[in-house]
A and B are shown apart, each in its own frame.
Chain A
């Protein structure tokens, strides 16, 4: 089902020409500019693939190309990520059934040199960190290439309908979606920034004193990007928690639900249970209600709500119960979620028998945290450490966010899970530092780095920031 009325969002301008695609032979209406997964979801299709070993139904989970839950076959080609691949007129989409057979007929590909692009700084990831890195690197004098595998810039900002906190220069009081628009406009108006969308970076190699970033555009075309330095701002991916049937279609990461309803105007379902009462879970509850979806409850394993009091109060006022010291035991349903069973936890985190409650829901939202997307940095050979406070494995880096490999910088959630404001500040630091490293910026830009470092320090001075600072201390490389 599609959302047409929304108090904040206008989907009509996002939706392009109406076209027809085919799912398992059946024609489906779709709009140009939306991804396969969104079009299928709007048509009520939840099962996108079956797992390879036990043939269990699988559906959308992360919606941003980071998991492999939504793989489909498109025009006979298996393993296509339906969540980041745009629909095209007449596309033949089929459910992926485990491991697929190769297409019967194929000719060797035409083999030619990959198109080559050069810049001082190559930035991977067009979210808040990457955009800020691009803008600041360009202002400092560098030529910039910015690539992102999504069809649009803004990263996770494009689905944040809430207003930001903080200082005015850090976009306080502005909604995330608006921040994305402002940053995109700033990036696009700088001639020295070249932007490549639907382009997945797949490898980083050293080539003489340059860095080579290999990328694939639209799942088809190999591109080569060379830069004197690079910034990796590839964000994060949603965590999964173990419970029975946690792979059932209808169980989504919180971000996927925001992508559905806030980015593409697709109603995620009718009745939702949210797992996790941090800020993400609380904000999600509010956004769901805005979109006309019923939120049955929020369960939280901790004894108290993790998110801000204001968010929790707002959600409670709207009649959503927040069940602390509760967890989800299992999801039930045949091909998709039909029910969720939750239970109360004792002091040792064990479910208390007899306290089970059943919620009739068709969607279970997991808002149980994120982990940094460090795959490219790992492949490039940067040193990694597991840091609980930062959400998982992160790279070692110095004060200017340069990793243990000279010329490779990191920023945003990739450097450790925080939020968009710190991501933007880190992007600024990494962007300028990368421009300096490339020899494209004059040393007076060091002052701008110092300013951003001060702002970061101030922003992290709260209780949540202390936790993050503990983590950062453990990965900090001190250079002479």
Chain B
């Protein structure tokens, strides 16, 4: 392990790795990523795999539009297939109120060039043949949304970053951060000390602990909530291509893996704040009920896996991204509230630009880590899939 580095990124999930890759791409030298477990184990490997641009606010729409561009080119750029597929996102709508709010979202999305639209239940059924459209009055549909394989994406970023000289240390936990006169001096780990002048907190659910180590005086409320996912045995791929979502059924989301064909998903049930991720029967039963309401034929399909993971939640369900003024060269990109995987390519690019160029054309102001302290919460982001 290095004893000195220009930049230390804490957190080996897709956010930390995307930042590392983008920093190196912009010419940053001497970048180190610390992961206390194995890469992706925190939240990335536990995510719902969805990638969507159907948000209800300008900043998230713009960030996700850029992300999707990057996801599309990722296979070429990183030299590894991350199984990104633009299979769409389908929000099922059951009453006028829901429909009106989604119509407004679609208008906003269209303004930024996202081709989302409101479709009929029959069209929805054509997109997802085994769908139960009973009670559905319309659906919000965007065919340029999609999904990717989180395991492959983490691997792709990590390998591409390594090729550009980034050093990645797994099973290396940040235990303390030495700060003197408002300047970072070193990160202490279970494997020794790394002298450094710059730290990027990409620890998501554990980000508050890292802030505390550095003595960050700003209140950045991030709380770990346990969410869960399930996966079924594989069925013929292509039957449930898009991410299918219903708020009426407790925020259930599900889709089929692009290649293997297992159905994965979850719903809004959460526990916490907690660092426990033991799966629960309440979830297994709840998600089985909701899956089979949406896709009745899933009652014939066996569940093969259930797991827990974190939504690192902020009060407005948007991440805290930016520079911390009180400690020189301390940055944070955490609290993604369930959207870290999909946002990672654009966030990595934006944070790298901010560090290397001092500015970025991406709307990072929206994710201003000081907004909580100032009481300027954003409109709650749609927290889904």
Interface-side segment among B68-76, B145-153, B299-307, B333-341: B299-307
B296-346: which have CB < 8 Å to A?
296-303, 306
Given known contacts A77-B300, A79-B302, A102-B239, is B132 in contact with A108 (CB within 8 Å)?
Answer: yes
Number of A-B contacts (CB under 8 A): 60
Interface locus among A202-210, A342-350, A413-421: A202-210
Contact status of A52 and B234, CB under 8 A, knowing A203-B284, A214-B281: yes
Given the known inter-chain contacts A109-B296, A109-B299, A203-B306, please indicate yes or no for A101 contacting B236, CB distance below 8 A.
yes
The range of chain A's interface size is 20 to 34
* Identity of the chain A residue whose Cβ is nearest the Cβ of B299 in the assembled complex: A109
CA–CA, A78 to B284, complex, Å? 21
CB-based nearest B residue for A71: B233
Q: List 6 A-B contacts (CB under 8 A).
A: A78-B300, A98-B236, A101-B235, A102-B236, A102-B298, A203-B306
Complex contacts, A104 vs chain B, CB 8 Å: 130, 297
Is A464 at the interface (CB under 8 A from chain B)? no
For residue B241, give the distance in angstroms from its CB to the closest CB of chain A.
13
Contact with A along B283-305 (1 / 0, CB 8 A): 01100010011011111111100
Query: Contact mask B113-137 → A, CB, 8 Å, 1/0?
Result: 0000000000000000010100000
Given contacts A99-B236, A203-B306, A206-B278, contact A79 B301 (CB under 8 A): yes
Q: Does B237 contact A (CB under 8 A)?
A: yes
Q: Which of these, B281, B293, B300, contacts A212 with CB under 8 Å? A: B281
> Per a CB cutoff under 8 Å, which of B233, B239, B279, B302 touches A101?
B239
* CB-based contact B289/A106 at 8 Å: no
Q: Which of chain A's residues have a CB closer than 8 A to the CB of B278?
A: 206, 381
Chain A nearest Cβ from B233, distance in angstroms:
6
Question: Which residues of chain A come closer than 8 Å to B229, judged between CB atoms?
Answer: none
Bound-complex Cα distance A352 to B297 (A) = 54
* Residues 141 to 198 of chain B near chain A (Cβ within 8 Å): none
A175 to B166, CA, bound (A): 65
B110 at the interface (CB under 8 A from A): no
A102 and B300 form a contact (CB under 8 A): yes
A100 sits at the interface (CB 8 A)? yes
Please indicate the chain A residues that have their CB under 8 angstroms from the CB of B302 in the complex.
Answer: 79
Query: B261 contacts which of A99, A109, A203 (Cβ < 8 Å)?
Result: A99
Contact yes or no, B235 A205, CB < 8 A: no
Q: How many residues of B contact A (CB 8 A)?
A: 28
| Central interface residue in B296, B298, B303, by most chain A CB within 10 Å | B296
Cβ of A334 under 8 Å from chain B: no
**Residue ID in chain A nearest B261 by CB atoms:** A99
**Complex contact A102–B130 (CB within 8 A):** yes
Pick the residue among A78, A102, A205 that contacts B280 (CB under 8 A): A205
Chain A residues near B289 (CB, 8 Å)?
Answer: 111
A290 to B289, CA, bound (A): 51
CB distance from A211 to the nearest CB of B (A): 11
Residues of B within 8 A of A (CB): 130, 132, 233-237, 239, 261, 278-281, 284-285, 289, 292-293, 295-303, 306
In the complex, A443 has a CB within 8 A of chain B: no
Most buried by B among A114, A202, A212: A202
Q: Which A59-90 residues sit within 8 Å CB-CB of chain B? A: 77-79
Nearest B residue to A79 via CB reads B233
Least Cβ–Cβ distance between B303 and chain A, in angstroms: 8
Partner of B234, one of A99, A107, A202: A99
A99 touches B235 (CB 8 A): yes
**Distance, CA A99 to CA B237, complexed state (A):** 8
Per-residue B-contact encoding for A378-408, CB less than 8 Å = 1, 0 else? 0001000000000000000000000000000
In the complex, the answer to whether A102 meets B292 with C-beta atoms within 8 Å is: no
Q: How far is the CB of A104 from chain B (nearest CB, A)?
A: 8
Contact B235 A100 (CB under 8 A): yes
Give Cα distance in the complex from A107 to B296, angstroms.
Answer: 5
Is A103 positioned at the interface, with any CB of B under 8 Å from its CB? yes
Set of chain B residues within 8 Å of A77, measured between Cβ atoms = 300
Partner of A78, one of B132, B235, B293, B306: B235
Query: Which residues from B are CB-within-8-Å of A78?
Result: 235, 300
Interfacial chain B residues near A98, Cβ < 8 Å: 236
Q: How far is the CA of A99 from the CA of B285 in the complex (A)?
A: 25
Q: Is the CB of A102 within 8 A of B281?
A: no
Q: For the complex, give the distance between the alpha carbons of A203 and B284 in Å.
A: 10
- The chain A residue sitting closest to B130, CB to CB, is A102
Give the shortest distance, in Å, between B119 (CB) and chain A (any CB).
22
Tell whether, in the assembled complex, residue A102 and residue B297 are in contact, meaning their CB atoms are under 8 Å apart: yes
- Which residues does chain B contribute within 8 Å of A203, judged by CB atoms? 281, 284, 306
A107 to B134, CA, bound (A): 10
Q: From residue A378, how far is it (CB to closest CB) to chain B in Å?
A: 11
Quick one: given A99-B261, A203-B284, are A108 and B292 in contact (CB under 8 Å)?
yes
Q: Which 4 A-B pairs have the closest CB atoms?
A: A102-B297, A106-B297, A106-B296, A99-B236
Give Cα A394–Cα B362 distance, bound, in whole angstroms: 51
Q: What chain A residues lie within 8 Å of B300 (beta carbons)? A: 77-78, 102-103, 106
- Measured CB to CB, the closest approach of chain B to A403, in angstroms, equals 15
* Chain B residue nearest in CB terms to A98: B236
Measured between beta carbons, the chain A residues less than 8 angstroms from B130 are: 102, 104, 106
Question: How far apart are the CA atoms of A381 and B280 in the complex, in Å?
Answer: 12
Bound CA span A111–B301, Å: 16
* Per-residue contact bits, chain A 96-133, to B (CB 8 Å; 1 contact, 0 not): 00111111101111010010000000000000000000
* Max count, chain B CB within 10 A of own CB: residue among A79, A99, A206, A212: A99
A111–B235 Cα distance when bound, in Å, is: 23
Q: How far is the CA of A107 from the CA of B292 in the complex (A)?
A: 9
Report how far A77 CA is from B284 CA in the complex, Å.
21
CB distance from B255 to the nearest CB of A (A): 14
| A77 to B233 Cα, complex, angstroms | 13
Name A207's closest neighbour in chain B (CB-CB): B281
How far in angstroms is the closest Cβ of chain A from B237? Answer: 7
For B132, what are the chain A residues with a Cβ–Cβ distance below 8 Å?
108
A477 CA / B284 CA spacing, docked (Å): 32
Q: Knowing that A98-B236, A102-B239, A102-B298 are A-B contacts, what are 7 other residue pairs whose CB atoms are under 8 Å apart, sorted by A's residue number?
A: A77-B300, A99-B234, A99-B237, A106-B296, A106-B297, A108-B299, A212-B281
Residues of A within 8 A of B297 (CB): 102-104, 106
**Nearest neighbor of A224 in chain B, beta-carbon distance:** B281
Chain B residues with Cβ under 8 A from A79's Cβ? 233, 301-302
Which partner residue on chain B sits nearest A107 by CB separation?
B296
What is the minimal beta-carbon distance from A54 to any residue of chain B, in angstroms?
15
- How far does the alpha carbon of A336 sit from the alpha carbon of B26 in the complex, in Å? 58
Chain A residue nearest in CB terms to B282? A205
